């Protein structure tokens, strides 16, 4: 439930399309999208930066916001960015572009060992299996893998939406800006609230 947000029909359609495709991929792997509830955001190991990415896609205008949030092993914010994109075909491409933006941001910040974590199983599966096909996502995924060659270490874990709340909040915030925004060791206040909640839940877990 997203409190304080009013979603229009085109946003709901985009969410359903993404959910259906990710659910289908879960079934092919013998998983259920409902298997991992109450999953916590997990900090990376020491010396590694985790970049959570998400996208807000508006199908009626083919406009999307890529959001990237970088945190260290203590769960502290290292940086964040939101980036608007025009002429985005669908929600899957929006997520792929957000992942691509995460690597660009990591390069700009000088991170060398990174985790790119997102809740789009479609994108994460393509990256981990290095799938080359005729889909519109393949050129983007191949470019992401090319960019990854500039790092010492890159991994692409899938995470349920419940553990990607901070990046989602950042994407929602980016819709109000509609121009590129960057933060170093800080983020919008609404995102900081989610980050602090993530830290508390992880470090006080039982």
Question: How confident is the model over 35-65, as pLDDT tens digits?
Answer: 445 799 999 999 999 999 999 999 999 999 9
- Per-residue pLDDT band at 106 (split at 50, 70, 90): very high
Residue 128, both tokens? 């981990």
The model's pTM: 0.82
Which residues is 77 bridged to in the sheet?
A: 71
Contacts of 79 by beta carbon, 8 Å cutoff, 6+ apart: 70, 105, 109, 182, 183, 184, 185
Under 8 Å between Cβ of 171 and 65: yes
The residue that leads in pLDDT, 46 or 206, is: 46
Gap between the Cα atoms of 142 and 71, Å rounded: 25
- Per-residue pLDDT band at 116 (split at 50, 70, 90): very high
Gap between the Cα atoms of 105 and 100, Å rounded: 9
| Residue 26 pLDDT greater than 70, yes or no | no
* Per-residue confidence (pLDDT) for residue 131, from 0 to 100: 75
Residue recorded with tokens 């000088």: 110
* Per-residue confidence (pLDDT) for residue 130, from 0 to 100: 85
Secondary structure of residue 76 in the 3-state scheme: coil
Strand pairing report for 153-155 and 181-184:
unpaired
- Average pLDDT (29-38) is 49
Query: Which range in 12-26, 35-49, 164-178 is most confidently predicted, on average pLDDT?
Result: 164-178
Under 8 Å between Cβ of 120 and 92: yes
| Residue 20 pLDDT greater than 60, yes or no | no
pLDDT, mean over the chain: 87
pLDDT digits (tens, 9 = 90+) for 133-149: 888 899 999 999 999 99
The residue that leads in pLDDT, 134 or 167, is: 167
Percent of the residues in the chain that have a pLDDT greater than 90, as a whole number: 77
Contacts of 116 by beta carbon, 8 Å cutoff, 6+ apart: 51, 53, 99, 102, 103, 127, 154, 155, 156
Under 8 Å between Cβ of 104 and 147: yes
The residue that leads in pLDDT, 185 or 32, is: 185
CATH topology of domain 9-31+39-203: Nucleotidyltransferase; domain 5 (3.30.420)
CA angle 159, 160, 163 (to 5 degrees): 80
Under 8 Å between Cβ of 147 and 46: no
* Per-residue confidence (pLDDT) for residue 3, from 0 to 100: 35
């Amino acid at each position: 439930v997203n409190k304080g947000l009013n979603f229009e029909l085109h946003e709901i359609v985009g969410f359903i399309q993404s959910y259906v495709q990710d659910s289908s991929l879960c079934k092919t792997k013998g998983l259920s999208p409902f298997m991992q509830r109450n999953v916590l955001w997990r900090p990376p190991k020491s010396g590694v930066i985790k970049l959570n990415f998400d996208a807000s896609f508006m199908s009626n205008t083919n406009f999307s916001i890529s959001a990237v949030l970088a945190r260290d092993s203590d769960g502290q914010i290292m940086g964040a960015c939101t980036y608007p994109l025009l002429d985005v075909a669908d929600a899957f491409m929006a997520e792929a572009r957000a992942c691509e933006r995460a690597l660009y941001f990591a390069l700009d910040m000088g991170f060398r060992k990174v985790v790119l974590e997102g809740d789009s199983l479609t994108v994460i599966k393509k990256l981990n299996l290095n799938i080359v096909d005729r889909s519109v996502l393949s050129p983007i995924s191949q470019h992401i893998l090319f960019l990854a060659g500039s790092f010492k270490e890159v991994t692409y874990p899938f995470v349920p939406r419940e553990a990607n709340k901070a990046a989602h909040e950042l994407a929602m915030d980016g819709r109000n800006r509609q121009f590129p925004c960057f933060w170093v060791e800080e983020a919008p206040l609404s995102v900081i609230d989610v980050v602090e909640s993530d830290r508390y839940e992880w470090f006080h877990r039982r």
